[in-house]
Structure 1
């Protein structure tokens, strides 16, 4: 899948890089505060995050995604929804995405990655993005479908809960943040020893997700065509 998307070799760091759109999140935002309280509570109840299983990691991923959606909805006044374990069918592949965020169209696909092999998550996410892109294309109006200037794109996320990778899928290629570190130290020691760093890292990830959602929602609602912000 990586080779098919014009990646030189199988190393994800060879994917062309992009700087994700970022939305500054207020420290006083209620959804963000609730997310932090939820994360801290969950960390206090989990024995360890070392080698945590998929279900445990999903607890933290979900908290961050729900907070991001709540903030994006407030900022855009648009209906944005999350769908868990969504079946997505395309021309070449079908599959189930761990989380899909949608409005008028699919906006963002999130794949839970494997802690020691994030490349597998990339391959899965790209297949899901390709299928979602084809689904969106079928839903377009005739004017959009025949407008040569119309340029669609989707965002993807591959995450282990602690490690977050952001992807842009376009018909002409893919871009990612594989060369940058977006990490959240989800440990009991982080809560005890450096709670401000934990808060800052969570806010940074939420700010990116909100920024991506705002950008993609604006494409759906704008009467003029837009290109991916790469």
Structure 2
């Protein structure tokens, strides 16, 4: 016969399991919890595990977002469009960024076989380059921790003016459709370093939006390719794509700054 301390049995209700003289109690109502807290037995160990719908942002894929946010599209190419814009940007800053991209291209493995960390090196040059146009008013926060009702954890880059997040940027290894969308952000940028996609999130203000449904729109100018997948890359190859990408991202930053009434000091050409 086995010792009583190692015996395991289930009560009829399937809510109490006795294992090595400890009780494991399952409950789902407040009344059940109160009865445990006010038990007459002072030796009860109370271990509470809270299940939440929050998941790491890195785990989000487009199909998962479709289910969570009630999207109708099956991938980003099927999203409804919004009219994206382009702003003028200083040529000297673009030239410096092109120099850095050429240097990275020469010293990195080919982008088609590169991991996410390598792709982030290219993406960060663009993000920091556009942010530098704003003379220090726009700040870039890499691996920034954010949390919402449907997600938590670090995102690759958060763009802030003061204490206000204006844009979230995510790097993806190969498939744009693996990108996660983040709550309470009007614009997002998703990139593989080669392809760049700008999205706009519109949250419903209706009283029936308790499930957090949002409308996700794709910029009419997306995707914007950056030809760093060329085996041989020249300044001429990058000049127009960088100018276009800079202009689109600056338009996003300006739109967020203006819509939220944030001050702005921007370099002119």
Short-chain TM bin: 0.7 to 0.9
Quick check: 1:99–1:109 contact (8 Å CA) kept in 2?
A: yes
Aligned to 2:216: 174
Does 2:176 correspond to 1:118? yes
Q: 1:174 to 1:41 in 2, by over 3 A?
A: same
Distance 1:90 1:113, change over 3 A: same
Tell me what 1:147 maps to. none
Structure 1 residue 187, shift from structure 2 partner: 3.8
Specify every segment of 5 or more residues in structure 1 that has no aligned partner in the other structure, as ranges: 134-152, 224-230
Distance 2:230 2:222 in 1: 25
Match of 2:58 in 1: none
Which structure would you say has the larger RCO, counting Cα contacts within 8 Å and 6 or more residues apart?
Answer: 1
Return the TM-score normalized by structure 2.
0.64
Structure 1 residue 209, shift from structure 2 partner: 0.6
Counting only pairs closer than 5 Å after superposition, residues 1-230 of structure 1 correspond to structure 2 as 1-26=65-90, 29-71=91-133, 73-74=134-135, 79-104=137-162, 105-115=164-174, 117-121=175-179, 124=180, 126=181, 129-130=182-183, 133=184, 154-172=186-204, 173-177=215-219, 180-187=222-229, 189-192=231-234, 195-221=235-261
Structure with the largest fraction of strand: 2
Greater C-alpha Rg? 2
Structure 1 length-normalised TM: 0.74
Render the CA deviation track for 1:123-182: whole Å, top value 9, x for unaligned: x1x1xx21xx1xxxxxxxxxxxxxxxxxxx611011000100111112131111388431
Tell me which protein shows more helix as a share of its residues: 1
